Amino acid sequence: MSRVSSTLLLSNNLFNKIRKHRLMSTIMNPLVAVCQMTSTENKEKNYSIVEDLVIEAKQRKACMAFFPEACDYLADNRKYIVAMSESQDGPIMSKYKQLAQQQDIWLSLGGLHEKRSDSSEKISNTHVVINNKGAIVASYRKIHLFDMENKETGVRLMESDYVVAGDKIVNPVDSPAGKLGLSICYDMRFPELSLALRNSGAEILTYPSAFTYQTGAGHWEVMLRSRAIENQCYVIAAAQTGAHNKKRVSWGHAMILDPWGTIIAQCSEKTGIAIGEIDLKLLNKIRDNMPCNKHRRTDLYPSININ
């Protein structure tokens, strides 16, 4: 048998094992809800949408609901973005906590506009996880800020104008669905972060996003599939969709992917949720059958400089 034939046979056998495992999967595994919405600068309306989606997620037996970046609001200028921000002990966070407790469900709120105590000019873009008791169990502040200025098209999106970049990676968080690695939107373009989370024990990588329509059309799915495959993790990517104001349109396509890179749940074009099953036995099977992490040449990689 040729080397090529042997490799194909190995790949086919692994694929068949994974397919058989999926068919044998039971509802005993935890279910999660990935959510999609169109935030505006109307905070009360946005919260009402979040509330409705959380109630639906609970009714559909999800143990956790994942919301996109800017689920609190999405304003169209720096002045309003900063002025509307709240601290973690503010009114909007109190409502999120109460909602989680009332519905007995965990919440991932990706990319809230967090007011900083040391500055009135800039905020933090913060991913907050709340447990079913209404307590904050983790906060991650976005470390990669989306700065883009295209002089040809006149498009300018400079997150650093009003956001202070985070300065640390948060260790994976224990949740009813598995160990969560926390990221936000643009972070997905930096595989070093996802690898650091994987090496710290992450089983699920999260990318709550407000992806621009143009970049989303070209890169959204392929990058999410890449992060799932290369790290052998589930990926949950909640998303903003549609037109928020005259300046901003988001791509949408919120989705959940398994560690094989297969999309197992995806939202339609509008506000709504999609339910996916998190099967950690499948995750471990994939990692055992293809132990990529054991084959990393970390003795060589640090010596490679990218300019």
Name the residues annotated as catalytic.
69, 142, 185
Phi, psi of 132 (to 5 degrees): -75, -5
Q: Cα–Cα distance between 144 and 119 in angstroms, integer?
A: 20
DSSP string, 119-165: -SS-EEEEEEEE-TTS-EEEEEE-SS--EEEETTTTEEEEGGGTBPP
Q: Cα–Cα distance between 229 and 104 in angstroms, integer?
A: 32
Distances in Å between the alpha carbon of 213 and those of 35, 203, 209, 219, 253? 18, 29, 12, 10, 10
Burial 92-107 (b: 16+ CB within 10 A, else e): bbeebbebbeebebbb
Q: Which of 243, 245, 248 is nearest to 270 (CA)?
A: 243
| Long-range residue pairs from 177-180, CB within 8 A, at least 24 positions apart, any chain | 177/30, 177/32, 177/63, 177/64, 177/106, 177/204, 177/278, 178/30, 178/203, 178/204, 178/234, 178/278, 178/280, 178/283, 179/203, 179/204, 180/108, 180/129, 180/138, 180/204, 180/206
Under 8 Å between Cβ of 30 and 279? no
